[in-house]
Amino acid sequence: MHDRDILTQLDELTALHSARSVTQREYEDRRDEILKSVQAKLDALKDEYQPLLDAADERISDLEATIKASVTAHGVSVRHRDFHAIYSRPRVSWDTKALDGYAASHPEIRDFRKEGKPSVSLRRINQAE
């Protein structure tokens, strides 16, 4: 696979994203037209239910924080019929640059080094379409 092949694939990906964006905008425009006829009723319904949902969300958030603190203090995971509060030990990290320097004079430490596989992420550079 050469750069040119990958660039061709990225061109195709750009075209697909653009076509999808056009379709999404058309959908939203048509949806907005349909919603205009019932928007007042939807707004009234939201006004009625939103305070209840906000109160529930706040209580859920508070209780989740309390449970997380309790499980952290307990030090082990707790399984419930509907939830599993999973305790994770603190992550350990090393100063790779310093260890690489140390390995120059202590090569035996390299036996303990493991390297994962490379990965690729795609990021949109220009999302205005």
- Asked if residue 12 belongs to a domain, the reply is yes
Structure tokens given for 53: 């949902």
Better-predicted residue by pLDDT, 9 or 128? 9
- Asked if residue 11 belongs to a domain, the reply is yes
Whether pLDDT at 127 is above 80: no
Q: What is the CB neighbour count within 10 angstroms for residue 78?
A: 13
Its domain, for residue 1, covers 1-37
What's the pTM value of the predicted model, to 2 decimals?
A: 0.59
- Asked if residue 60 belongs to a domain, the reply is no
- Asked if residue 25 belongs to a domain, the reply is yes
pLDDT digits 0-9 by tens, 17-71:
999 999 999 999 999 999 999 999 999 999 999 999 999 999 999 999 999 999 9
Please give the C-alpha separations between residue 126 and each of 8, 9, 17, 80, in angstroms, as whole numbers: 17, 17, 11, 46
2 pLDDT band, cuts 50/70/90, is: confident
Res 125: pLDDT: 85
- Asked if residue 29 belongs to a domain, the reply is yes
- Asked if residue 100 belongs to a domain, the reply is no
- Asked if residue 118 belongs to a domain, the reply is no
Of 35-39, 71-75, 121-125, the range with the lowest mean pLDDT is 121-125
Whole-angstrom distance, CA of residue 26 vs CA of residue 4: 33
- Asked if residue 98 belongs to a domain, the reply is no
pLDDT digits 0-9 by tens, 101-118:
999 999 999 999 988 998
Do the beta carbons of residue 118 and residue 106 sit within 8 Å?
no
Q: 3-class SS at 41?
A: helix
Q: How many distinct structural domains can be found in the chain?
A: 1
* Residue pointed to by tokens 């640059």: 97
